[in-house]
Amino acid sequence: MSLPYWLYVVIIIFASASIAYLLWFSVLFFKRKTRELERLNSDMKLIQDISKDITATLEMRELLPQIMDAFAKSVNVSKGSIMLMNEDIQTLEIKAGIGLSRRAYEVVRPKLAEGVAGVVAATCESVLIDDTSKEKYLYLDFISDPTKSRPKETLLCLPLIFKGHVLGVVSLDKKVGGGKFSEYDRRIASILANQAAVAIQNAKLYENAVTDGLTDLYIHKYFHHRLEKEMERARRFDQILSLIMFDIDHFKNFNDDYGHQVGDAALVQLSKILKNTMRTTDILARYGGEEFAVILVPDPKFEQTPEVVKTIAERLRRNVENTPLEFKGKKLKITISVGVVSWHGERKIDKDKLIKMADDALYKAKRDGRNRVCVWEENFPQTIK
């Protein structure tokens, strides 16, 4: 029994439409997969390039901003931070970030299992939150006024793990364009986090090799290396670089009267005061014995005039004087003499000459009565120790 002609036409039309739909769907599918593969290839190339850059960097102060920038590019965010674990107090501290306020660096210090970052560090598992304003348990806002509503942001937090040991966490907020993080974003960021952890561990090992064991400041050899490097950079960008050198007044008498262990305690306390007084970008070194050096790295936000640098050095001197060392119920007063010099890129002044100028200012401060700051001047006499 033959079918009516019109039914053949309907069947042919239906079959053609089905084939056309399948072809159209297949084209869309392959286009989408092609875009996904292109994005994956692009992201993997980005990660490969970034990995080369960060694994070649051993300076922690240079490495962490590079890693932060890499995360921002890979998952397209405008706000984020890298927090490293302070092993002594089991607290996470922000070491690099983008889109953060200055207060965030001071206030946001979650302990293990506290807040999203603390939980990620404790569990070694990443956390993805689509809307922080609705998160009641994990998300803690360390910054905002608690009486105000929570910010509505997306948040992706990942652990930085090296051989089973948590080095810290990376926290990513605010997708550009207001979108949400996807599982694809999490996978890409996880790959980058693994690379970053290796680079951070290498930088920590390098830092240990160039750090004084007692004071946790940079050693003499590294100080010379960095001073030369920073002078080259300052000259290239036409910036002013300053150098502060100081030592403890009558330190030999201090050791003779109270013993070398108390002397060591004084050095440790002074190094802590130094770290708390200076910027994190400054290079702090134990130059030798009881003598210390600080390279004030140029900052485009303010000009390092001799007056400004003297004010910074004076603040350090006061902080040391006002923080006595406690020993067997006694408060032992410590004072320092400080020499300061600012360098404007003069080619006739090299690294050794600059150190000599700061040293001359230091010993001028000693000759003038100690416990004071002296700025180098052209008419200074030669150093007399």
Question: Which residues are identified as catalytic?
Answer: 290
Tell me how far apart the alpha carbons of residues 18 and 332 are, in angstroms, rounded to a whole number: 92
Take residue 293 and report the two structure tokens written for it. 């050096």
CA distances (Å), 121 to each of 1, 70, 85, 190, 191, in order?
Answer: 76, 21, 9, 14, 17
On whether the CB atoms of residues 297 and 342 are closer than 8 A, the answer is no
Q: Residue 363 burial by CB count (10 A; 0-12/13-18/19+): exposed, middle or buried?
A: buried
Range 62-78 burial, b when 16+ CB lie within 10 A, else e: ebbebbbbbbbebbebe
Closest CA to 249 of 371, 340, 373: 371
Backbone phi and psi for residue 179, each to the nearest 5 degrees, phi listed first: -80, 180
Q: Residue 13 burial by CB count (10 A; 0-12/13-18/19+): exposed, middle or buried?
A: exposed
State the helix-helix crossing angle for 251-258 and 260-277, rounded to 10 degrees: 130
DSSP 380: P
Closest CA to 161 of 126, 129, 207: 126
Range 276-290 burial, b when 16+ CB lie within 10 A, else e: ebbeeebbbbbbeeb
Q: Which residues contact 58 (CB under 8 A, 6 or more apart)?
A: 202, 203, 206
